[in-house]
Amino acid sequence: MGALHEGHLDLVNQAKKECDIVIVSIFVNPTQFNNSEDFANYPVTISKDLNLLERYFVDVVFLPSVNTMYPDTTSLTFDFGPLERILEGAFRPGHFNGVGIIVSKLFNHIRPHRAYFGQKDLQQVAIIRALTKDLSFPIELIVVPTKRDSDGLAMSSRNLRLSPRERKAALILPTSLTQAKNELLSGRDWLEIQSQIKFDFEESPLAKLEYFELVHTDSVTIMTHLENGSHVSICVAAYIGTIRLIDNLPIIY
């Protein structure tokens, strides 16, 4: 959705290594925002983005208008079942319907052979994987690891809206993920870990936790303990001031 950072450029770099032509779409999609204020304040830096993509030798930038993508009111709705009713879906009703609509439109306009997405939006990746499978899109999905700043905070366009004080407070997200991962792998009970993390967030004056969950990485099914051979991730969403941030950390056990 624009306001590009190094995490987006990691997607570009991997695509350039593996594909003949790289297309980047930039579109702030109104139908995936369930908060009008969040949509209105989402950072838009088109000139900067285009200059950046030119320096990275991107072949095509698809920069459609809202009227191009939504010439008429969309009557179609997606229902991704239990997958869209937990975590992000529970706190952002309608969000994944908007994601499903716009990704389907982008896939139909561009018709890529491969599509690259960031791991930071773990549940979105699962939604798009289900969408691609159920609608038989002949597209290979590539998931690229989360890019972080030197202090551990996951790169996000929304980070641009954080004040210096909020930026520092936001480190509770990666810190809590790392702490929980280490304690989980050391054998501590997940529910005890989760309870401690919730308390830590309550003690932070600028942070308000929405969820902190252990999930199966592919299905995003909520789990209460590690299982041998399982690929799991810890997912977090929290407000820092008025800015909502998400993050996750994968664990292979």
Q: How far apart are CA 232 and CA 235, in angstroms?
A: 10
Closest to 29 (Cα-Cα) out of 53, 47, 2: 2
Which residues, in sequence order, are bridge partners of residue 246?
Answer: 237
Q: How far apart are CA 248 and CA 253, in angstroms?
A: 16
Residue 152 has φ and ψ, to the nearest 5°, of: 100, -15
Q: How far apart are CA 110 and CA 23, in angstroms?
A: 8
Q: How far apart are CA 43 and CA 17, in angstroms?
A: 29
Please give, one letter per residue, the 3-state secondary structure of 135-187: CCCCCEEEEECCCECCCCCECCHHHHHCCHHHHHHCCHHHHHHHHHHHHHHCC
Which residues are known to be catalytic?
Answer: 8
